[in-house]
Amino acid sequence: MNRNRHGEAFTLVELLVVIAIIGILAALLLSALSASKHQAQDVKCVNNLKQMTLSGLMYMDDTGETIVEYDTNDLNSWVQSLNPYGLTTNIILCPATCPTNRESSNNAVAGTASLAWYVWPPTTTVPVNGSYSMNSWLNSYDPNITIFSTWIAPPPPVVSNNPQYIFSKPASVQRPAMTPFFTDSVFWNEWPLESDPPASDLSTGASIDITGMQRCTIWRHGGGTATSPTPVRSVILPPYYIFPNNAAINIGFDDGHAEAVRLASLWSLYWHYNWKPPPR
């Protein structure tokens, strides 16, 4: 009897083989689940940007103007301007980012590939978290604003020095299918220029002081999402740049569609009125 029981038992080698097979299957399953999660985040983010872009287009259809910014004593960004057009705080947060929590009010903090940006306007009791930026060359500016305060100021120098780049009216957008309206970003506004380099670190993006393309050159989608950011430094080969093949952000365009765009293709889009894509 004892000999029969020993003959039916697993050997140590067989047990190790079974454990190894279970480990391999678990790894494959986790990888598949992770990929599915990233794909779901990508789809939700694209839908967010499409809704945001349609809100902006409805605003411009109603007013005949591009979106006004800096026109009150509060932070009257696109978040407030588009609220009557269905823009809610839940759709300005990419599902691949986490909210940024702060205890003090009246401040603003840039986000990263994995964290939302944060702002606490002085007239609200709760902060605003978001993951997207408006292409602010589509902003109109009140020329009568001269008062400096925490939440109001004339346009930044990049705008004051380049007024010819502003889309003055909705009809001035000549390539709507290639003109970004809203994008994944580390702050709520951006003014890209052809000469802008990418962010030096694709997991962190740029600081508040840098207003150009660096704000949206982050690896948030395409396989290196914010839930597992990979700090990759881009290699500069003027006038174009080398990025990981799957590094991408999502963009809503002025014609109303939204899609994923590889970071390497951002300079091929038409961000401002006189944009001239750098030659390859």
**Residue pLDDT, tens place only, 51-89:** 999 999 999 999 888 887 644 444 557 887 888 898 888
Beta strands 67-69; 139-141: pairing state: parallel
Evaluate whether residue 280 is within a structural domain: no
Residue 26 resides in a domain:
yes
pLDDT of residue 170: 93
Q: Is residue 11 domain-resident?
A: yes
Query: DSSP secondary-structure letter at 86?
Result: T
How large a percentage of the chain has pLDDT more than 70? 72
Domain that holds residue 123: 2-268
- Of 68, 278, 53, nearest to 176 by C-alpha is 53
Look over the chain and give the mean of its residue pLDDT values, rounded to a whole number: 80
pLDDT given for residue 180 in this prediction: 98
Is there a domain that residue 231 lies in?
yes
Q: What is the count of structural domains for the chain?
A: 1
**In a domain? residue 149:** yes
% residues pLDDT > 90 (the chain): 38
Q: How far apart are CA 102 and CA 184, in angstroms?
A: 22
Query: 222 in a domain, yes or no?
Result: yes
Higher pLDDT, 151 or 24: 24
Residue 196 lies in a domain: yes
Partners of 181 in beta bridges: none
- What's the pLDDT tens digit per position in 104-134? 555 778 899 989 998 776 555 567 889 999 9
Amino acid at 114: S
Residue 92's pLDDT is: 94
Position 275 in a domain: no
Predicted pLDDT at 220: 92
| Residue type at position 56 | G
